[in-house]
Structure 1
Amino acid sequence: MKRIVSAFVIIVLQSTSHAFAFNDGAKEVSNYHCQGLQVSVGFESDKAHLIINHYAYILERARAASGALYSGDLLSFWDKGQQATLIYSGDRSIPCKLVAQK
């Protein structure tokens, strides 16, 4: 029985793994640490693809006074240099810091 359950879990994970991959058009992928959350962001010219705890979000570029702002239905992401902010529920935010690339 354990083998059947293990096989089922592997099949499910393999079938959904493509949903978490970045679009081929992403120019660069950056990783951020946002108060315990690991956030990966793939940037395109007018979009940002975020992966947070295995959930994928596509955000559209929006106007920003400085830095780059990407907005979607559930959340927004603003970044400038080494700093970023993850905004959710319209008015709640989590500060983020760019993780050094190895």
Structure 2
Amino acid sequence: MKALLKELQFALNGIPRTKYYYGNDETDTYKLVAKLDAIVSQLPDKPTPFQIYSETMGNKCPLCNSEHIIAHPFNADNLDAWRDVECEECEETWREMFTMTNIDIL
């Protein structure tokens, strides 16, 4: 919904700002765009699959919210590691990706 409103907002920004009449109604595009801007700014952004997945600490499918997921063994290359994960319920597959950002001396 927010994406659709943003497209409309973008389209309206290309319209010359004027007052025009359609029948007996006066339309002010300045006011129309201002109202749309106010609506779009109040809509929450849809969380990304990564945000959903990280909020559950990687314990639920980011698409169907099932806890029935299978994490396969890790693969690694230089400073990166990854593993494929699949959901037994919706049968979707995704890849967890990790990058070393720091070390602790023990």
TM-score (norm 2): 0.34
The structure that is strand-richer by fraction is 1
TM-score (norm 1): 0.35
- The structure with the largest alpha-carbon Rg is 2
